[in-house]
A and B are shown apart, each in its own frame.
Chain A
Amino acid sequence: MSYGFLALNDSNEVLITSDARNLHFLQKKSSPTSVAFTSNDYGGMRRYIYSFSNVSVTPVPFFSAPTTDFYAISRVEDKGSNNWDIEVIRSGTSTSTPEVYLFADPRAGSSTEAYGMVVYMDDGTAAFDSRLKPLAVTGGSVITHPSNPRTSFSSTGLDAKYCPTNAGTVFAPTEYNNYSILNQPGKPIFSFFSLAQAEREVIVQELEVECDGEEVYDTCVGFEREYYFTSKYWAFYRGGMRWDSGSLRAGWIVVEKGCNWTYDKFSGFLGIGTGGDSGTGGNWPYSNETINLTANTVIVADGARYD
């Protein structure tokens, strides 16, 4: 640049420049504003909403990971009038909730402190303000999710008749990719946005015969009805990340589940009639496919620095 300000760090990376804006700490919420969904089945699933006010620019959220479950930010929504909702999803059954830290460019913040350094862009707005707790990154990694949430989906134990089985053990995710990030702070916070998705389903079928007459050599003599029961158990996953003392995992979180059942009835007396019925356990988004497996990024910072 021919004018302005540029500061490089010890690794010759840009630290401050008048041509781009640093991210600065804005607000923190220690617990969710509301819990959108919770279930202890299928490995456990939680969906939290954190609502923030007085945020005048698009924020960049970070979250803490109080347990060794999988976490991710699934949406950042502008609610209007400087109000924003951040949605965080999590696996597991713990009642612990993550803290959410909002960072944004310095136009969103203000300080009355008399000491510090401010760098301005050529439009007169701040690019950097040392008084507003600028974001310092401690690490990060590019991660990719495994193509399958589990290595196998067994139908053993699943009942075909009217979806009666809790299929949690069939669909609870087990697969992940492992990454290592060394020398991280004692309270790391993460910026990670979920993109990967997967749907898996298991179909089980059963035939049931009712005979109103007598069975002679396995043949019904009289009125007979045959019921062909089918149940489709399914689970919908989104990508998450897990932190455990320097070990970072890219794995899966169940965000929706269900089962659909149908039956066909064939009845008659030495002849064939037809009938049937069906029931629903939610709409599955698509069938047996994993999408958005593109490389994704986790950014790590020191939460204690902003507490």
Chain B
Amino acid sequence: MSSGVKMFSAAGDLDYSSTDATWNQVDFFAVSANGSVTNTYAILSGRTVLTLQVQINAPPLTRKATSHTIAVSGTSVSVSGGSEDAYILVLMK
């Protein structure tokens, strides 16, 4: 690269550089079964946002496990409608 940043370890290995890409963690929060949460993050303004959902408890094998609906609008992330406890991971780049 002609410009940017490189970070090396003490052994001289390249740890990270501006040719890399990543998703930065904005928040990682829990939503309870049948609960709803709306959070606002100013840092999301103008950024690409990615949300991930993972169940907390052992997935039930004897009934439906409806996932939460996640809506991202501007800097706001809303989660609701799921029948299970879940973690919501908010990422941006």
Contacts and interface: CB of A to CB of B under 8 A. Distances in A.
Contacts of B55: 74-76, 193
B64 A116 contact: no
Given A131-B9, A136-B20, A285-B63, A20 B92 contact: yes
A291 B87 contact: no
B93 A13 contact: yes
B22 A76 contact: no
Contacts of B54: 73, 75-76, 193
Contacts of A195: 53, 67
Given A75-B56, A197-B65, A291-B66, A136 B16 contact: yes
A297 B59 CA distance: 19
Contact of A113 (B9, B26, B58): B9
Contacts of B9: 113, 115-116, 130-131
A161 interface: no
B64 A22 contact: no
A216 B83 CA distance: 60
A256 B61 contact: yes
A115 B25 contact: no
Contact of A292 (B21, B52, B67): B67
A134 B24 CA distance: 10
Contacts of B22: 9, 15, 22-23, 134-137
Interface in A1-42: 7-11, 13-17, 19-23
A255 B59 contact: yes
Given A9-B19, A13-B21, A283 B52 contact: no
Contacts of A304: none
Contacts of A294: 67, 69
A23 B91 CA distance: 10
Contacts of B56: 75-78
A114 B10 contact: yes
A285 B43 CA distance: 41
Interface in B13-44: 15-16, 18-26, 28, 43
Contacts of A230: none
A11 B48 CA distance: 12
Interface of A: 7-11, 13-17, 19-23, 57-58, 60, 73-78, 87, 105, 113-117, 130-131, 133-138, 191, 193-195, 197, 236, 238, 255-256, 283-286, 289, 291-292, 294, 297, 299
28 contacts: A9-B22, A10-B19, A13-B21, A13-B93, A15-B16, A15-B20, A19-B43, A20-B25, A22-B25, A116-B9, A117-B7, A131-B9, A131-B15, A134-B15, A134-B20, A136-B21, A137-B21, A193-B53, A193-B55, A255-B59, A256-B61, A283-B62, A284-B62, A285-B60, A286-B64, A294-B67, A294-B69, A297-B52
Given A9-B4, A75-B58, 13 more contacts: A13-B21, A14-B24, A20-B25, A20-B43, A22-B25, A23-B23, A73-B54, A116-B7, A135-B22, A137-B21, A283-B62, A285-B63, A291-B67
